[in-house]
Amino acid sequence: MLRRPVESNQSRPLLPLSPSLIQQVWQEPGEQPAVMKLTRLLMAGFGLTQLKSRFKLGRSIIQETIHYNEHKQIMKICLPHPSNRPAQPKAFFLFVHGGVWTTGLGSWRDFQAHSKQLAQQGIACATVEYRMLPRHPYPAAADDVANAVEFLQQWLPQNRAQYAKKPASHPSEMPPIVLIGHSAGAHLAMLTALREKHLPIKAVVSFAGPTNLATWNSSFCLLQKNLFLLLTPPEEASPITYVRPDAPTIHLYHGDQDIIVDIEQSQEMLAALKSAGVPVHFTQMHGQGHWFPFLSEFRKDVPLDFMEKILADIMSSLDTTDAT
């Protein structure tokens, strides 16, 4: 269930599509079916996934692979090297991948470069997988993400020495949990934070997430949306339905050229959150489409410090929440 932590002296981000990358992906140990390896290569060729990390990865990090619930779903935890651990962690980040809730179109690996980048900066984090289509319609994926947070609620206090130098002041002390998701993963992150009131989620970051499945009618994703909902009313599976005054802070990032999830989805959520008095931050990514968090090195129109700006925004919002 729990693999031994493995220290890695150097992270291995994906490289731009090339013969060496094709050979590297295809010859990886048999974790993935051939169709999933082919999907990764095709997506890389079109620039739809993380091709190359922009961040220099110097210090080693520690990684653990954990099955976090009875369905044997994987959580990949990235921890700072002992020499780089903070005395008092400000947050723990949980990344939730997208892919229209569908097997083969997304995996926990999508956010690995981001996760490793944060661990290099002394911030503990994790990427998570969940049950997907076509076998598992709603609410399986949403339940799994909630299970992941529940797991962390137990794991973080019990394993503090693995990510912090200063001992806890009481047995249940843990850093605030922040969910970060892209597309379907952002939908699941927001749904979990808004619907599951008992979970210790302090903030959510949505990259191009659908917020209202009743009004989101993308022709690119209509089939998957209908399979995901099956017989469930769209309102029941929509984050916007569960907006409440005591909801955690939500950060919305959306490209104004997105043809997969239209920017109106974030704008609709922005209005609902403001109406309820929920702290919310909205950033319109000018000229960007759906995959802006994963754009490759050759896209010079994306700021190099994009993730660092997001991190600063989140930390600022957490400080504001703690002060009130």
277: left (phi over 0), alpha (psi -120 to 50) or beta: left
pLDDT digit string, tens, across residues 230-255: 999 999 999 999 999 999 999 999 99
pLDDT digit string, tens, across residues 140-192: 999 999 999 999 999 999 999 999 999 988 888 999 999 999 999 999 999 99
Kindly state the helix (H) or strand (E) to which residue 272 belongs, with its residue range. helix 264-276
The DSSP-derived string for 201-218 is EEEEEEES----TTT---
**Can you list the domains of the chain with their CATH numbers?**
6-13+59-323 (3.40.50.1820)
Single out the residue of 92, 209, 216 nearest to residue 155, CA to CA: 92
Phi, psi torsion values for 161, nearest 5 degrees: -60, -15
Q: What is the torsional sign of CA 207, 211, 217, 222?
A: positive
Per the prediction, the chain carries an average pLDDT of 83
Per-residue pLDDT tens, the chain, 324 aa: give them. Answer: 333 333 333 333 333 444 444 554 454 444 455 655 565 555 544 444 433 333 344 458 999 999 999 999 999 999 999 999 999 999 999 999 999 999 988 888 888 888 888 898 899 999 999 999 999 999 999 999 999 999 999 999 999 999 999 998 888 899 999 999 999 999 999 999 999 999 999 999 999 999 999 999 999 999 999 999 999 999 999 999 999 999 999 999 999 999 999 999 999 999 999 999 999 999 999 988 998 887 644 455 555 457 777 788 888 878 766 655
The answer to whether 161 touches 79, Cβ cutoff 8 Å, is no
The DSSP secondary-structure symbol of 28 reads: S
CA-to-CA dists, residue 316 to 246, 281, 290, angstroms = 18, 11, 26
Q: Which amino acid is at 285?
A: M
Q: How far apart are CA 79 and CA 53, in angstroms?
A: 18
Single out the residue of 171, 133, 180, 134 nearest to residue 153, CA to CA: 171
Query: Any bridge partners for residue 252, and if so which?
Result: 206, 282
Query: Any bridge partners for residue 237, and if so which?
Result: none
